[in-house]
Amino acid sequence: MSAKIQNNKAWWLVAPVFLMVAFNALVPLMTVVNYSVQETFGDNVFTWAGVHWFQEVLHSERFHSALLRQLLFSGIVLAIEIPLGLGVALTMPRKGPWVSVCLVLMSLPLLIPWNVVGSMWNIMALPDIGLLAKVINGLGIDYNYTRQPVAAWFTIVLMDVWHWTSLVALLCYAGLVSIPDAYYQAAKVDGAKTWAVFRYIQLPKLKHVLTIAVLLRFMDSFMIYTEVSVLTGGGPGNATTFLSIDLVKIALGQFDLGPAAAMSLIYFMIILFLSWLFYTLMMKNEDA
Amino acid sequence: MKSFTRYIPVLYVTFLMIPIYWLLNMSFKTTNEILSGFTLYPHNFTLASYATILTDPSWYSGYINSIEYVAINTIISVGVALPAAYAFSRYRFLGDKHLFFWLLSNRMAPPAVFALPVFQLYSQIGLFDTPWAVALSHTLFNIPLAVWILEGFMSGVPKELDETAYVDGYSFPRFFFRIFIPTIAAGIGVACFFCFMFSWVELLLAKTLTSVAAKPIAAVMTKTASASGYQLGLLAAAGSLTLIPGAVVIYFVRNYIAKGFALGRV
């Protein structure tokens, strides 16, 4: 790192990236900020509304419950996917022909368009003809994800676990492969048990990739839209109306630009803040 | 204990394959069979759904549109990310760290937040309903990602390579294209893979930015739910076909997947 040369001309190399991302990020962001402080009655007439929309959104019951559902969803998903992904990575073969097979099959869900993921689980969970519904009903449990909130949640969480656990597993696997063999040999000489190897060699080495995995999964689960919108559309009732779904309903469905813009900004801030918090906390643990 | 842990990946992969099997299973069934009840495998095996999709322009043009904007996006993203990643890996310059983190923070922006303003932006500049609109809007999250991945790979290349080339009289562009790019070919492959992946799977922006001419396959699929009843067979067949590009790309980069993930650094 210290060997880098100070050279402000490097900006010329970065300029295209800077301009393109700025065009795509700053212009829309400014539009959102603009809407969030104005009132409109159509016909492109705007009047100044100050922080009115922010107050309205922050005090609305609807926003609170959508935020709570979103946090709950991210919490559940992280609690399942991180340990499961780590477990799969630890038990995966390291050498031989099965490695490629495992990697390819595991990456497959990551490359399916998100609405197709929603459709797949829709087909799985359809009453009477879906495999999932059939199996659960076969166990004597009444299951209908279009009517029961619990069933809808179960299906969505299962879908997300199916969709994204591979990402965690692949990240962890990459981290595990990069641990030098010498560490394991030293552990063998010392007669360390599997648990000790995991606790004192693998886990510390994986801290970095685990941080990335938690951050990515948190951000993406917090932004989830397409899959849920295809599968349940936010229902039954509002049981699975997460923040993003509510936001799209307000912005593109009702064209309430002011509240939608204010909500967008608050939403973005929450993601930025929580991601920063996760990152700092995990990095602090690493230093300690 | 030891014998049990060996089965975890097997169980997990089986779990991953079940919904995919179910999708394929549905796509080979006749509408009658789907509606008449639960069957574990297609009893009247048919390719009718696939035939419909591959002969009806409103269906297959969706695939062409999707592949078009994904390709444009991947080329632009990796193209502009290459020099930037080089700058980040080799030089210190005014505001470099801030810039890097600002770029990454765009990865955290929910597409739902940007859908409406991006729609207005691209309508204003007259690109609405073209593959370019979708390709450009997807650079929002793909450029930062490509810079991130490429920077990791480039930092692994010793600086001596650059210096030797300059001593030998190479100009910067000649060094960059003749020597440097072939050296990090694997990294470029991985970056392309990730750009392809995230552009291919995204729907919200793609759907918002197109109406008729450039409609992506993912958006075309939503019509099966409304147009002529609920055509599950068609939906399943269309879904199955969207798996193919992903599977092909994975096959090409299979040896680099683990490495690509390993280089993800925050």
Rounded CA-CA distance B191/B75 in Å is 10
CATH topology for A61-287? MetI-like fold (1.10.3720)
Rounded CA-CA distance B204/A225 in Å is 8
Residue A281 has pLDDT above 80, yes or no: no
Exposed / middle / buried, residue B30 (Cβ in 10 Å: 0-12, 13-18, 19+): middle
Q: At what angle do helices B48-55 and B232-253 cross, to 10 degrees?
A: 80
Residue with tokens 């997460």: A242
B82 — pLDDT class (breaks 50, 70, 90) = very high
Residue A3 has pLDDT above 70, yes or no: no
Interface test with B, best of A120, A195, A279 (most B CBs within 10 A): A120
User: Taking all residues of chain A, what is their mean pLDDT, rounded to a whole number?
Assistant: 82
What is the total residue count of chain B? 266
Interface test with A, best of B53, B93, B202 (most A CBs within 10 A): B93
CA distance A21 to chain B (A): 6
Pick left, alpha or beta for residue B37 (phi over 0 → left; psi -120 to 50 → alpha; otherwise beta): left
Any idea where the domains of chain A sit in the sequence? 61-287
Contacts of A124 in chain B (CB under 8 A): 18-19, 22
Q: Do B159 and A3 touch (CB under 8 A)?
A: yes
Residue in chain A nearest B262 by alpha carbon: A174
Residue with tokens 């179960």: A154
Q: What is the pTM of this model?
A: 0.84
Neighbouring residues of A169: CB distance < 8 A, sequence distance ≥ 6: A84, A85, A86, A88, A89, A92, A106, B12
Rounded CA-CA distance B212/B65 in Å is 11
Residue B211 has pLDDT above 70, yes or no: yes
Q: Do A108 and B20 touch (CB under 8 A)?
A: yes
- pLDDT tens string A31-84: 888 878 877 666 566 777 677 778 877 888 888 888 899 999 999 999 999 999
Contacts of B246 in chain A (CB under 8 A): 108, 110-112
- pLDDT tens string A241-250: 888 888 888 7
The angle at the Cα of B53, spanning B49 to B54, to the nearest 5 degrees, equals: 115
Contacts of A4 in chain B (CB under 8 A): 90-92
Rounded CA-CA distance A92/A173 in Å is 8
Rounded CA-CA distance A111/B235 in Å is 18
Q: Do B112 and A113 touch (CB under 8 A)?
A: no
Q: Do A17 and B218 touch (CB under 8 A)?
A: no
Contacts of A25 in chain B (CB under 8 A): 106, 109, 140
Pick from A168-172, B57-61, B133-137, B212-216: least confident: B212-216
- The gap between the terminal CA atoms of chain B, to the nearest Å, is 36
Nearest CA to A150 out of A76, A224, A53 is that of A76
CA distance B237 to chain A (A): 11
- pLDDT tens string B146-170: 888 888 888 888 888 888 888 888 8
Higher-pLDDT residue of A160 and A215 is: A160
Rounded CA-CA distance B189/A188 in Å is 37
A46: helix, strand or coil: strand
For residue A158, the model assigns a pLDDT of 93
- pLDDT tens string A150-199: 888 999 999 999 999 998 998 888 888 878 888 888 888 888 888 888 88
Rounded CA-CA distance B74/B23 in Å is 28
Task: Determine the average pLDDT of the residues in B131-153.
Answer: 88
Exposed / middle / buried, residue B203 (Cβ in 10 Å: 0-12, 13-18, 19+): buried
Whether the CB-CB separation of A145 and A232 falls below 8 Å is answered with: yes
Rounded CA-CA distance A15/A20 in Å is 9
Q: Structural domains in chain B? A: 1-46 (no CATH), 56-262 (1.10.3720.10)
